[in-house]
Structure 1
C-alpha cells in the first residue's frame, strides 16, 4: 500500500500511474477534499483540518509493507519507526540510518532560519524548482521500493 501526504504533493499523477500499473492500493491523505483518479486501487481520506491531522492519520496505519510519500521529515521518521518505508517527492528514500541526521539538520535549519533573515535581506534559499529529473528520480525510487517490498 502507498500512503501519500497529499496536501502539497507534486507527484500525485505519478503515484496513481505506478499504483495502477503495479496493482498496489494508493491512499491520498489530505486535510480537506482532494480529487483523485476514479479507480478501485485509488482512494482519498480526508483527515480533517486539525494541526498534523493528515500526518497522524498516515502514521497510524504505517507498518512494514507500506510506503509513505512525504516531504515532511518528521512524518517520515514516524513511518520508519513503525516499520514502513518513506520516500520524498524528489526520490530520496528515508532510512533508519539517515533519518536521525535528516531530522537533526531540519531542526538546526528551523532554529537558524529566524536569525538569518536579516543577513539575507529577507530572502531564503529554499530548494530548487521541482523538475523532470526529480519526477523521473521519484518514479524510479518508488518502483525500486515496491519491488523490494514485494520480495519480502
Structure 2
C-alpha cells in the first residue's frame, strides 16, 4: 500500500494551514512548492520545496514529482489539467474538485475569462475568499484523502 502525498501550489494558496491539519490527521506527507517566502516547519511530514522564480517552475516541479493517487491543491487550472491527466486527485482552494469530467469546462472558462480580461470586457478581480470557502475546502480535502487512501489500498 502506498500512502498518498499532498502537493500544494503554495505561493498564493489561502488554505495551507487547513491542508496541513488534514495531512497530519491522516499521517500524510505534505509538500509545499513555492518560489520562496514560506516559514519552514520542524515537522518531518511537512516539506518545503523552493523553485526558481521562473514562470511555471512550481507547476513543473509538482508535475515531475506527483504520481497517480497523490493529491494536489491548486487554483491554477492549466496545472490542474496536467495533473488530472496523470490521475492525481486535484482540488482548488475552495474545495472545487478538478476531475476528468470537469477539467475541460474549467479550462474553457479560464480561457474565456482571460480573453475577456485582455479585451477589457471584464475586470480581473477574483471574488474574496470566505469562511464558507475554507469550510468547503476542509470537507472536500478530507473526502479526497479518504478516497485516495482507499484507492491506494485496493
Shared fold (TM-score greater than 0.5)?
A: yes
Q: Deviations over 1:127-150 (max 9, x none)?
A: 321111111100000000000011
Where in structure 2 are there 5+ consecutive unaligned residues?
A: none
Q: Deviations over 1:95-143 (max 9, x none)?
A: 00110111011111111212235xx6xxx26332111111110000000
Secondary structure (helix, strand or coil) at the match of 1:14 reads: helix
Unaligned runs of 5+ in 1: none
* Corresponding residue SS for 1:137: helix
1:17 aligns with 2:21: yes
| TM-score computed with the length of structure 2 as normaliser | 0.90
Cα deviation per residue 1:48-69 (whole Å; 9 max; x = unaligned)?
Answer: 1111100000011122111100
Count of equivalent residues: 147
**More RCO (CA 8 Å, sep 6+):** 2
**Residue 101 of structure 1 pairs with residue 90 of structure 2:** no
The RMSD of aligned alpha carbons is 1.3
List structure 1 segments (4+ residues) > 3 angstroms apart after TM superposition. none
Shift in Å, 1:33: 3.9
Q: How far apart in 2 are the matches of 1:31 and 1:81? A: 25
Counterpart position of 2:146: 147
Q: 2:77 aligns with which of 59, 73, 76?
A: 73
- Indicate if the aligned counterparts of 2:117 and 2:124 stay in contact, CA closer than 8 A: no
